[in-house]
């Protein structure tokens, strides 16, 4: 299975989230939602959309003199890829201390979430063993 492209940073992700909500939008519409609110130039929003297009995360169609963009990647797929990427960076070459810290952090955030993590681990183990 090949890795899904991951948005390169906060701005790429914000633009992608705006497109998931809008479904289909021009640069101007995305800029109004994300760029203008952050004080970014219109050209910055256009550049980010172009990068997302090059990564295969969005499709674009020329309509008149502008492009209209729509997400190609599903939000769940991208978020899963982002989580995997972050975990690989967190775990590094010696994962045991990071795993312990992760369990502590999850427990501090929500005790029930820790139980959900345990259930997910058990389900994964059962799936690996097979029927």
pLDDT of 93-107, one tens digit each?
888 988 898 889 988
* 80 and 97, same domain (yes or no): no
Residue 14 sits in a domain whose CATH number is: 1.10.10.10
| Domain coverage including residue 104 | 92-131
Cα separation of 11 and 65, whole Å? 25
Please determine, for residue 12, whether its predicted confidence score (pLDDT) is greater than 80: yes
Question: Are the C-beta atoms of residues 25 and 68 closer than 8 Å to each other?
Answer: yes
Whole-number percent of the chain with pLDDT over 90:
60
Whole-number percent of the chain with pLDDT over 70:
96
Q: Of 55, 59, 7, whose CA–CA distance to 34 is shortest?
A: 7
* 79 and 106, same domain (yes or no): no
Residues 95, 97, 100, 105, CA torsion sign: negative
State pLDDT tens for residues 38-51: 899 999 999 999 99
């Amino acid at each position: 299975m090949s890795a899904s492209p991951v948005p390169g940073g906060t701005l790429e992700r914000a633009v992608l989230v705006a497109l998931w909500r809008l479904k289909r939008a021009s640069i101007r519409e995305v800029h109004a939602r994300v760029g203008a609110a952050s004080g970014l130039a219109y050209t910055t929003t256009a550049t980010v959309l172009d990068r997302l297009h090059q990564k295969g995360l969005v499709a674009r169609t020329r309509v008149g003199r502008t492009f209209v963009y729509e997400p190609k990647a599903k939000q769940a797929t991208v978020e899963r890829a982002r989580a995997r990427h972050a975990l690989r960076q967190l775990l590094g070459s010696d994962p045991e201390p990071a795993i312990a810290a992760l369990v502590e952090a999850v427990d501090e955030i929500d005790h029930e979430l820790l139980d959900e993590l345990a259930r997910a681990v058990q389900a994964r183990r059962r799936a690996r063993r097979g029927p």
